[in-house]
Amino acid sequence: MNNPIKVALCGLGTVGSAVFRLINDKSELFKRRFGAEIKIVAVSARDKCKERDLCLNDVAWFDDAIEMAEVSDANVVVELVGGSEGVALEVCQTALSTGKDIVTANKALLAVHGFDLAKLADEGSRSIGYEAAVAGGIPVIKALREGLVCNEVQRLYGILNGTSNFILTEMRNKGLDFETVLKDAQMLGYAEADPEFDINGVDAGHKLALLTALAFETKPDFSSVSVEGISNISELDIRFADELGYRIKLLGIARRGPEGTQQSVRPCMIPKELPMANVDGVFNAIAFQGDDTGPVLLEGRGAGAGPTASAVIADLSDLARGLRLPTFGVPIKKLKLGNPALEDTAVGRFYVRLMVLDRPGVFAEVAAILREQDVSMEAILQRTRAPGAPVPVVMTTHEVNQLAIKKAIDQFSSLDTVLEEPRIIKIENLGL
Ligand X SMILES: NC(=O)c1ccc[n+]([C@@H]2O[C@H](COP(=O)([O-])OP(=O)(O)OC[C@H]3O[C@@H](n4cnc5c(N)ncnc54)[C@H](OP(=O)(O)O)[C@@H]3O)[C@@H](O)[C@H]2O)c1
Write out the residues near ligand X by the rule CB under 6 A: 10-16, 44-47, 50, 65, 80-82, 87, 105-106, 132, 136, 303-304, 308
Nearest to ligand X of 282, 296 (CB atom): 282
Residue 300 Cβ vs ligand X, minimum distance, rounded to whole Å: 12
**Closer by beta carbon to ligand X, 46 or else 272:** 46
Closest residue to ligand X, judged by C-beta, is: 13
8 A C-beta contact, residue 10 and residue 44: yes
- Nearest C-alpha neighbor of 396 from the set 236, 246, 228: 246
Pairing of strands 76-79, 101-104: parallel
Least distance to ligand X, CB of residue 48, Å:
8
H helical segments located in 124-234: 140-142, 162-174, 178-188, 196-199, 202-216
- Minimum distance from CB of 65 to ligand X (Å)? 4
d(Cα 110, Cα 131) in Å, to the nearest integer? Answer: 12
Q: Of 349, 353, 354, 403, whose CA–CA distance to 377 is shortest?
A: 349
Pick 111 or 391: Cβ nearer ligand X? 111
Q: Examine the residue annotation and report whether 183 is marked as an active-site residue of this protein.
A: no
Nearest CB to ligand X, comparing residues 227 and 408: 227
Q: What's the min distance (Å) between Cβ of 86 and ligand X?
A: 7
> Which one of the listed residues 107, 207, 219, 426 is annotated catalytic?
207
Q: Find the Cα–Cα–Cα–Cα dihedral 140, 141, 147, 149, rounded to 10°.
A: 130
What is the rounded CA–CA span in Å between residue 33 and residue 310?
Answer: 14
- Least distance in angstroms from the C-beta of 45 to ligand X: 4
Nearer to ligand X, 116 or 192 (CB): 192
* Helices (runs of H) and strands (runs of E) counted in the chain: 14, 17
Residues labelled catalytic: 207
